[in-house]
Amino acid sequence: MLTKRIIPCLDIKDGRTVKGINFENIRDAGDPVELAIEYAKQGADELVFLDITATNEKRKTFSELVTRIAKHINIPFTVGGGISTVEDVSLLLKAGADKISVNTSAYRNPQLINDLANQFGSQCIVLAIDTKFENNDWFVYLNGGKVKTETKTIDWALQGVELGAGEILLTSMNNDGTKNGFANDIIKLISESVNVPVIASGGAGTMQHFEKTFIEGKADAALAASVFHFKEIEIKKLKKYLSKQNISVRI
């Protein structure tokens, strides 16, 4: 049986992890490679690296980092942040990334999703959507949540999959950082409306939140950052817990 995936997310700035992270058994917690190896050991199913600087000058640093990650870890990983052209994607895939995620650039230029899917295959194209609930509906936000659009999230998700996105990474801005749980209503709506996997993001605070997003939200995978970085939740324990709740996970 296909398992539900647990995905730690690492924010990268100038080739270093951003958030304060505390693992005793790691020499350099700012080194994304060391952290990635540690997460892989703990049983993470995939990893996501978001380049939050993502300026053109920094792109090269990031692709060199991607190669170092690919050399050292033996689980799949996605990279994202500021990717806006076929050339960007080609560079990152050649560097060793398994998948890439696009967000604002794909919304501004939906043809990009189509071009990427045709050239590299849908399986490596993740459409990341930042969403916020207001005026009784979920809307798409751009530029890391700074720019509001009038597009309903469900409409953009459907269009993105139609264009060739192979997965949806859905982050609820209402929930992100709250540790009050995932936005399971919109996650469920999207997951039941598209036929590609949906990764729930934003709001993880407890192990029960993961359980709920898999059961109520019908998420195929769940992504979190700080609860893993600050060891509030250990991946091994989380998977044991989920397994006890009869949720299929890789242990």
CB of 29 or CB of 125, closer to another protein: 125
Catalytic residue among 45, 51, 130, 220: 130
Give the residue with the Cβ less far from another protein, 88 or 176: 88
Q: Which is nearer to another protein, 232 or 234 (CB)?
A: 234
Least Cβ distance, residue 93 to another protein (angstroms): 5
Does 220 qualify as catalytic in the annotation?
no
In the bound state with another protein, the residue whose beta carbon lies nearer, of 76 and 144, is 76
For residues 22 and 228, give the distance between their C-alpha atoms in angstroms, rounded to a whole number: 10
Identity at 169, one-letter amino acid code: L
Please state the closest distance from residue 71 (CB atom) to another protein, in A. 5
Rounded least distance, CB 242 to another protein, Å: 13
| Measured distance CA(187)–CA(129) in Å, rounded | 11
Rounded to the nearest whole angstrom, what is the least distance from the CB of residue 100 to another protein in the complex? 11
Q: What is the 3-state secondary structure (H, E, C) of the chain?
A: CCCCEEEEEEEEECCEECCCCCCCCCCCCCCHHHHHHHHHHHCCCCEEEEECCCCHHHHHHHHHHHHHHHHHCCCCEEEECCCCCHHHHHHHHHHCCCEEEECHHHHHCCHHHHHHHHHHCHHHEEEEEEEEEECCEEEEEEHHHCEEEEEEHHHHHHHHHHHCCCEEEEEECCCCCCCCCCCHHHHHHHHHHCCCCEEEECCCCCHHHHHHHHHCCCCCEEEECHHHHCCCCCHHHHHHHHHHCCCCCCC
Closest contact distance (angstroms) between CB of 44 and another protein is: 10
Q: Give the active site residue among 11, 51, 88, 176.
A: 11
User: Cβ atoms within 10 A of the Cβ of 146, count?
Assistant: 9
Which residues of this protein are in contact with another protein, per CB under 8 A? 1-5, 40, 45, 70-72, 74-76, 93-96, 98, 121-124, 166-167, 191-192, 195-197, 218, 220-221, 250
The reply to whether 130 belongs to the active site is yes
**Nearest to another protein of 55, 119 (CB atom):** 119
Q: State in angstroms the smallest separation of the CB of 178 from another protein.
A: 27
- Measuring CA to CA, which residue among 248, 247, 234, 244 is closest to residue 42? 234
Which residues are part of the catalytic machinery?
A: 11, 130
